[in-house]
Amino acid sequence: MTSPLATEAAPFGRVLTAMVTPFTADGELDLDAAQRVATHLVEAGNDGLAISGTTGESPTTTVQEDGRLLAAVVEAVGDRATVIAGVGTNDTRHSVELAEQARKAGAHGLLLVTPYYSKPPQSGIVAHVRQVSRAGEDLPIMFYDIPGRTAVQIEESTYAELVQDPLVLAVKDAVGDLERGAWLMRETGIKLYSGDDAMNFAWLTLGASGIVSVVSHVATRQYVDMVAAIDAGDLPTARGLNDRLLPVVRAIMTHTQGAITSKAALQLLGVLDHRTTRAPLPEATDDEVAIVRDALVSAGLLTN
């Protein structure tokens, strides 16, 4: 299924949110809330959503739940935004199953994190991506390089191999090495998406295609404006937006896990009724909620 907003320069859109997975108060998948969150995000300006990623608590959801969640989001916003399905696991057969399911559910693309914990060699990473690509058939792939979580970094020479597959279009980069990323864009043609909100401004100024953000749960409009300012060469405006969001980035990304704080933020904004997470993630404490609230207020995203 082709994305309604795909371009050669930004095949998955410009501003994407790594969306939380809402649960009911007793911990069950809440599809109505998921559609409400997806609609809220797209109406705020997101032109893409990443479903069932780490922020979506994918280690705690079943294959069936992933499929139901994806289908619900595609139904709600799939004609207005690129919907990419997180299918990354450390078991290639499991990822293949998720990719096949995502294709049938109407996803526009796949988000594929490097296999974690088992620390495969680079040849294993290449084989993993190729098998998942075959399973997804015509779905383009954004792979996710985040060695701080996976314990494995994709080597520069491996990128050259991966992009030989015409469906491997982009990387969500959470390595944080600006020189390396600029080199990879130049030498391999890979489209780079910032996967670390603290680096969004820097990556965009270096020519990144867009961002896959957690903070955009609450700051989509500001990131849309940042992208537009950088495209127009107006760096002072873009830098001002970045500065304004720094307290929010810290509150959501550094005090505890992003899924926890994002749900707290959405609850504060009235988008979610509660902030239930699944173990091993606890829901935000009152102190953590207060930190998020203060940051949103200071950035003008929430009134007292």
Q: Is 198 exposed, middle or buried (0-12, 13-18, 19+ CB in 10 A)?
A: middle
Contacts of 170 (CB under 8 A, 6+ apart): 11, 12, 140, 141, 142, 143, 190, 191, 192, 193, 209
**Beta strands per DSSP E along 120-213:** 141-145, 168-173, 191-194, 210-213
Give the active site residue among 144, 159, 193, 223.
144
Say which amino acid occupies 26. Answer: D
Is 159 designated active site?
Answer: no
Question: 């997101």: which residue's tokens?
Answer: 46
Q: How far apart are CA 185 and CA 190, in angstroms?
A: 5
C-alpha closest to that of 280 among 96, 59, 132: 59
- 52 three-state secondary structure: coil
Give the active site residue among 172, 191, 193, 263.
172
Report in angstroms the alpha-carbon separations of 128 from 64, 92, 123, 150, 259: 22, 6, 9, 14, 27
For 8, the token pair is 């050669």
Chain-centroid distance, C-alpha 298: 25
H/E stretch holding 94 reads helix 92-105
Contact 289, 256 (CB under 8 A): no
Is 172 designated active site?
Answer: yes
Q: How far apart are CA 111 and CA 223, in angstroms?
A: 21
Which residues are tagged catalytic? 144, 172
